[in-house]
Amino acid sequence: MLTCGVLLLVFYWKPQWRVWANCNPCPLQEADTVLLRTTDEFQRYTRKKVICLYLATLKFPISKNPEEPLVADRHSVINHAVLKPELKLRYIQVRKISLLEDSNSCYDIHHTFGRGLTSEEQEVRRLVCGPNAIEVEIQPIWKLLIKQVLNPFYVFQAFTLTLWLSQGYIEYSVAIIILSIISIVLSVYDLRQQSVKLHNLVEDHNKVQVTVMVKDKGLQKLESHLLVPGDTLILPGKTSLPCDAILIDGSCVVTEGMLTGESIPVTKTPLPYTENTVAWKSHSLEDYRKHVLFCGTELIQVKPSGQGPVRAVVLQTGYNTAKGDLVRSILYPRPLNFKLYNDAFKFIVFLAFLGIVGFFYALGVYMYHGVSPRDTATMALLLLTVTVPPVLPAALTTGIVYAQKRLKKKKIFCISPQRINMCGQINLVCFDKTGTLTEDGLDLWGTVPTADNCFQEVNSFASGKVLPWGPLCAAMTSCHSLILLNGTIQGDPLDLKMFEGTAWIMEDCDADYRTFGMPGSNIIIKPGPKASWSPVEAIAILRQFPFSSSLQRMSVVAQVAGEDHFHVYMKGAPEMLAKFCKSETVPKNFPQELRKYTIQGFRVIAFAHKGLKMKKLSDVENIAREKVESDLTFLGLLIMENRLKKESKSVLKELHEACIRTVMITGDNLQTAITVAKNSEMIPGGSQVILVEAKEPEDLVPASVTWQLVENQENGPEKNETCVNIGNSSVLDGARGSCYHFAMSGKSYQVIFQHFNSLLPKILVNGTIFARMSPGQKSSLIEEFQKLNYYVGMCGDGANDCGALKMAHAGISLSEQEASVASPFTSKIANIACVPHLIREGRAALVSSFGVFKYLTMYGIIQLIGTSLLYWQLQLFGNYQYLMQDVAITLMVCLTMSSTHAYPKLAPYRPAGQLLSPPLLLSVFLNTCFTCIVQICAFLYVKQQPWYCEVYRYSKCFLDNQSNFSMNVSLERNGTENATLVPGSVLSFESTTLWPLTTINCITAAFIFSKGKPFRKPIYTNYIFSFLLISALGLTVFILFSDFQDIYRGMEFIPTLASWRVSILVAAITQFCVAFLVEDFILQNRKLWLWIKKEFGFYSKSQYRHWQKTLAEDSTWPPTNRTDYSGDGEYGFYINRGYESPEEIPKAKLGLEGQTTEQHFWTRL
């Protein structure tokens, strides 16, 4: 009450202050309020009330015995969280406990949940876990309005406008009020539309009818929002999954477009029924996702196992699901830590400080002259509000709006407009390969079969010959994840292309095939009309072990018609597949043959086979993947061609010329990635490539990293072969600097991250190729680049790049699927040409924001100086004088200054990224000095003129001498006398002199700060802005030299001699020329600033710059053709400070801190 609501407003902005003011610290068990703080660099606070949940409200009795569990799942946190005997659960509403614990083993999931939950346990879980709903509240418009209005800037704006209205400054106040209302309404409309779209996106999720199995009661139908973790779902057929679930019986085919961005059918297999106690995720290692049906994915086909319907156990519900995570990432995106926004706040604080100085200056002047306290306070507050322009938020937003509109015309859409400015700082762009740099589809080039441990002649597809029958052909027909849906073969494009190359066809199993002893409900493959002769009539695919990017392989169990035994076929990355084959079946020249094709940029897939000695189909259904994928016979290679997109090379060249680093992050083969990088000129000709291969520690040998130099050797006129140099040189000879590029696989990246953490920044500074990267590793790599202070862009097709797209400062998805909704930018044109477009617009928007900020700062300072000078004699500018500056110039100029288009060519450097930089601060400071000098000189010089008199003191003298002026304007004595009576009068020679100077100063400042090239087109191409500037200047000069009585009365001017008016114009032009020359030839002179930095030893504080400088001076870097080992210590401990906290490191390890992290193993021996 005493603070008139100001304290409540402060507590709204700073919830931590409210907690500190109203609460006392206490143990968590006794807390009524909890203050949460994020652990990131923003350290945001949230206040949460502790809520109590009483299980006694349930309709059935619950045991109060502490020894008796509430739910059957012994791992469940519910058993530990409920307080007995009170049956009370204390919680804060952050995230519901809506998942099964990962500590459950495969046996636990099958045994505990396989037959469903009891009705009582369902009720307990519903009460504790809450509904299975992804609820996106459509907030009422009044709530959104209040949130917008309570923004600190709008609160200050409301105070300013109230004060101005009370002083009769109505026109400009109304204009700002209208502009603010439009801005707030548009913001509320956008928020409301986004909320509605997101609500509609998830609404259907909460209205799915499902069938669950209830223990001792059978099947029961219910709404999906009643599902709880542990429920057993019956999957009938085509439907949308309302939760995350673990498949425990039968198999399914789903489309995971919502997760991966690719609407390709994916086969899911049941969780194995094993009796070990290993956690179910650990049992399946990185491939656990093959058993999980994710929320939001479409179930398109189910295959019962023959033991009953297809069943799945609910794993996660609500916002804990995959779809919930996607929605949460849209609702609560990662905050932007952009220097511009932090500096902008500091600048506004500085302007507010200037206003406070002006406030005390006005208090002193008016109190000295004995003015009434009320008038003194009013005039002091008016000066306080001058420095922070109320048009600032709208002006800063317009640049982003214009950029967003231009991007939309180029088919680039943005869901996070604030990131557009950040795009102007991008200096590193990561690209996915397949579907991004190269074409989506693959063309078959040929097969290389093996026989007698040797590679045979290539079977080329280009010749038009049909693929001959053989073990490799059988593998190609069988080893895939294709399905038959409504008579159409669907699946992964690679599998589809491979299968089409065999000329075989796919059918559903019918009675005819069952006569051969083949099981029903399986897909049958048989030769097509155009296929080569085959002794096999049909092949049935019995079981699939799906492909995953982490495992880099897939396998199937198949049966040939008429045979009573089974076959295993496997395909995958050649390096990976060779590990599962008998060594005697892998040709000795396998590495050379593989390299022969990968260096030409081909996509290479290897195949293997073995017979499975089993008689029963039930044995096949229960066999472990490890048993299937062992002791195989190597069959050969499939060579597929992946062409570069026509835009890729030119775009990469444009980025290279703009000094923007480009990096490839792909899941493909390392050698193929290197070749594509060279063909696309991501790695320029003449540059050296160093392969970095790291190995995990084994027995007594510590983790190691090997550096191998790759050299190009010409073998004939059209063929390049890449060889590994095995010479003695351990350091790259010749010019070093940026002419070398590191290339590594995901496995090596993981080892270096874990065991050579201090080495990682050195590699990343020149790392260009990262191959065989899993989705998680892609995200991790982006984060590591950001730690080096790179501004990172990521461009991918959305398939397995979603995490990286969200992590990057500017993620650009080339997919229109739902998964890419969380990506800040989406391009409808599926090539990388969108990247330079986005960077250009980002640079233009950033420069525009800087220009507008500088202009509005100067505008506030210009008005502060002019008004302060008039305050010295208890005067101020008239309402129409202010109105001319505020509306006709500042408002119009600010709304159009940012509409200048981006310059078509990317400059080889970025615009400044922070407001508090020497050029910008000097610009504001020097322009302030010029303004001070001109206005003070004019203020003092006008008093020295022979015709000058102090109008408000000597009105009679002024009227008697009117005949001396160029125009005989009759001014009424009453008007002049009124001006002498009220402090804050307008009519004076000082205001008549200062107004044209300040007005022309505002116009010229707008021109000077609207810099064009190299980031924006020239100012004259912005027709509206140029027209407004010329019009405003023409109007000001017209008012200055006009001799019309109505203009003088309206603007509250006093006529002066023509020579004096010419002097005013000359002073204004002189100030413009000096300011323009200083700004353009000194402050914007990049070469001058680079020379100053060099002479005075100023260096960039960016981590990557520091490492570049350090490594350039290091004669031992980059290493080549050598192996380094991690410090293994006395007892073989491997310490990574990034992975372990000091508490987790045994004392034996801590004694090793003085040793180097990397040293040569043989030296220590």
Catalytic machinery residues: 432
Which run of H or of E encompasses 291?
A: none
Distance of CA 858 to the CA centre of its chain: 34
**Alpha helices per DSSP H over 211-283:** 257-260, 280-283
Q: 4: Cβ–Cβ under 8 A, 6 or more apart, which residues? A: none
Long-range Cβ contact pairs of 10-16 (< 8 A, separation 24 or more): 12/150, 13/152, 14/45, 15/45, 15/46, 15/47, 16/45, 16/47
CB 636 within 8 A of CB 449: yes
Backbone angles phi, psi at 85, to 5 degrees: -85, 0
Given the DSSP bridges, would you call strands 633-641 and 1122-1126 parallel, antiparallel or unpaired? unpaired
Long-range Cβ contact pairs of 525-532 (< 8 A, separation 24 or more): 525/477, 525/478, 527/503, 528/503, 528/504, 529/503, 530/466, 530/503, 531/466, 531/502, 531/503, 531/504, 532/466, 532/467, 532/468, 532/469, 532/473, 532/503
Query: Residue 841 and residue 837: Cα distance in Å, rounded?
Result: 6
List the structure tokens of 808: 């990057």
| C-alpha closest to that of 771 among 802, 749, 744 | 744
Burial 602-628 (b: 16+ CB within 10 A, else e): bbbbbbbbbebeeeebeebbebebeeb
Q: Letter for the amino acid at 46?
A: T
Query: Residue 556 and residue 571: Cα distance in Å, rounded?
Result: 9
Compute how many other C-beta atoms are within 10 angstroms of the C-beta atom of residue 352. Answer: 15
Tokens 């100012």 belong to which residue?
1019
Q: Within a 13 Å sphere around the CA of 966, how many CA atoms are in the beta-carbon half?
A: 14
Helices then strands, counting H and E runs in the chain, come out as: 42, 39
Compute how many other C-beta atoms are within 10 angstroms of the C-beta atom of residue 1108. Answer: 17
Q: 1129: Cβ–Cβ under 8 A, 6 or more apart, which residues? A: 1135, 1148, 1149, 1152, 1155
Q: 690: Cβ–Cβ under 8 A, 6 or more apart, which residues? A: 707, 708, 709, 710, 732, 740, 741, 742, 743, 1118, 1119, 1120
Query: Residue 483 and residue 501: Cα distance in Å, rounded?
Result: 17
**Helix 6-13 and helix 15-22, axial crossing angle in degrees, nearest 10:** 110
CB 231 within 8 A of CB 212: yes
Q: Letter for the amino acid at 526?
A: K
**Helix 392-409 and helix 834-871, axial crossing angle in degrees, nearest 10:** 160
Burial 1131-1141 (b: 16+ CB within 10 A, else e): eebbbbeeeee
Query: Residue 964 and residue 948: Cα distance in Å, rounded?
Result: 11
Q: Is residue 453 left, alpha or beta, with left meaning phi > 0 and alpha meaning psi from -120 to 50?
A: left
Tokens 């001014």 belong to which residue?
971
Query: Residue 819 and residue 257: Cα distance in Å, rounded?
Result: 7
Query: Residue 505 and residue 528: Cα distance in Å, rounded?
Result: 5
**Alpha helices per DSSP H over 1009-1085:** 1023-1041, 1045-1051, 1058-1078
Tokens 């880099």 belong to which residue?
552
